Amino acid sequence: MQIKTIWLAAAGVIGVAGCATMQSGPKEMTFFVTSANPGKGGDLGGLDGADRHCQSLAQAAGAGHRTWRAYLSTQASTLAGTDFVNARDRIGTGPWQNVKGEVVARSVDELHSPNSKLTKETALDEKGRIVNGRTEKPNKHDILTGSRPDGTAFPGKPFPDMTCGNWTKSSDDGAAMTGHHDRVGPSDASWAVSWNSAHPTLGCSMEKIRPTGGDGLFYCFAVK
């Protein structure tokens, strides 16, 4: 009886561990942070260009068999317009895991809840490397999202630009909302530790993106 009890306890531990970590490796990866900006700051070639960048990086890493989407929102052309896109609506249903098999979230709702497991340790790039945080040089923790905390788009004009002209602008003007992948900021306020909606950039050129702690990186999720 004692041996059976020990065996069942061990099986339970293994079962819990299995829920926390799935199969690992590039082919199983369904989430990563881009290792580099496409080269034009906030101009990502629109959503299509950003998606192509995700797909290209995934392909190079060995996960090109999946369909990849950038976690980015776009704003409507007017305040009452409906021509906007919510980042949360374009990334599939989950679950998502990094190249090491560590689960970031099991659903869209969990991803945007306090139960999200997206942290500096889990938000790896497509090569499995940790992305520099706030205390490292160069600081790269500002991740482009153009989104509100719940993953939805900001209002359109005359509301301020939060998406670098819907990801087509690389000039010093405009701005893009960013999140902190390391969940660290100048305070413990909810905005400061938000992975997707911490503060806007100073502009849309790389020269205006870097001063606040970013390198023009963004999140990529596998839709399927």
Pair 170, 162: CB distance under 8 Å: no
* pLDDT for 6 beyond 60: no
Q: What is the third-level CATH fold of 24-222?
A: Mannose-Binding Protein A; Chain A (3.10.100)
Residue-wise pLDDT for 128-180, tens only, equals: 999 999 999 999 999 999 999 999 999 999 999 999 999 999 999 999 999 99
pTM of the model: 0.90
Per-residue pLDDT tens over the stretch 75-125: 999 999 999 999 999 999 999 999 999 999 999 999 999 999 999 999 999
Counting residues of the chain whose pLDDT is more than 70, the rounded percentage is: 90
Among 63, 53, 103, 36, smallest CA distance to 71 is for 53
What pLDDT is attached to residue 18? 40
The DSSP element (H or E) to which 53 belongs, if any, is helix 46-61
pLDDT at 210: 98
Q: In the chain, where are the structural domains located?
A: 24-222
Q: What average pLDDT does this structure show over 9-25?
A: 51
pLDDT in tens, 57-79: 999 999 999 999 999 999 999 99
DSSP structural state of residue 182: T
C-beta separation of 43 from 169 below 8 A: yes
